[in-house]
Structure formats: C-alpha cells, structure tokens
Amino acid sequence: MSTRVRWPQVSPEAYKAQLGVESYLERCGLEKNLLDLVKLRASQINQCAYCIDMHWKDLRAAGESEQRLYGLSAWRESPYYTDRERAALAWAEAVTLLTSDFVPDDVYELVGAQFNERELVDLTLAVAAINAWNRMSVAFRTEPGRYQPRQK
C-alpha cells in the first residue's frame, strides 16, 4: 500500500495546527503514558497502522511493559491497568465510537470519578486529536514502520 498524499507537505498549516494541539497536550498535566495508552487504544479501534506503530514505540521507549501493550485491546479483562487508566480507556472508546452509545452516562460517571473537569476536557481533547490524526493517516495511507521515538 502506498501513501496517497503526504499531507504535512501539501498543507503545512493544517499539520502545524495539529501539532499545536499536541504541544498543548504535552504540557496539560495529564500523564504522558496515560495519553499514549489512550492514543494507542483509539488507533487500534480506528485501525490506523501508522499511529499504532508510533504510540506503541513511544510507550516502549518510556518503559511500558509488553504485557500491558499486548493486552490493551482486551483491557477490560486484563488485571494490569489502574482504575484511572481504565476510566480513560473507557472514555476514549466511547468518544471514538460515538455512533455506538453516544458516550453513555455510566462511562461519564466512571471517568468523572478519576478525573477532574479540567483533566476530562484535556483527555477529551487528546481523544479528539488522535481521532483526527488517525483519519488523516488512514485516509492518506501514511506508511507505518519508520517512526522513531524522540531521544531524551
């Protein structure tokens, strides 16, 4: 499968706008690993190979265990996620799959017990952002495999 459009080069302003959201999310105060888990889970749902590759590599580079990464698609049945992570993953799935249940009240109550309102807004922005990245990457067939995590 070959790339259809190299959208960052074709529309650098659109790319810059997306990076602006990511810049905000990096300093919003939410845990980086939590955000990357959420981004990886949404990318799995959206079947975005590029973003799966990216966030899996970022999480491994940050010391995340392979067990937790391999089990992510079955996080509900896996014992190695915290209550906060579970709430974030449930929220990410509900916000990503809007046409399923339109973000049900029980998921809102679950996430509300783990995140304050500001954190919930930032978490929702992160989910919206990864969904936008996924849609750009899937639509334009961004090639996975070349991404390398930033060195610290």
CATH of the domain at 110: 1.20.1290.10
What residue numbers bound the domain in which 46 lies?
Answer: 33-139
Q: Domain tally for the chain?
A: 1
Q: Is residue 24 part of a domain?
A: no
pLDDT of residue 96: 98
Its pTM stands at 0.95
Q: Is residue 129 part of a domain?
A: yes
pLDDT of residue 152: 64
pLDDT of residue 105: 97
Q: Is residue 69 part of a domain?
A: yes
pLDDT tens-digit series, residues 113-130? 999 999 999 999 999 999
pLDDT of residue 151: 76
What parts of the chain have a pLDDT lower than 70? 152
pLDDT of residue 49: 97
Q: Is residue 113 part of a domain?
A: yes
In SS3 terms, the chain reads as CCCCCCHHHHCHHHHHHHHHHHHHHHCCCCCHHHHHHHHHHHHHHHCCHHHHHHHHHHHHHCCCCHHHHHCHHHHHHCCCCCHHHHHHHHHHHHHHCHHHHCCCHHHHHHHHCCCCHHHHHHHHHHHHHHHHHHHHHHHCCCCCCCCCCCCC
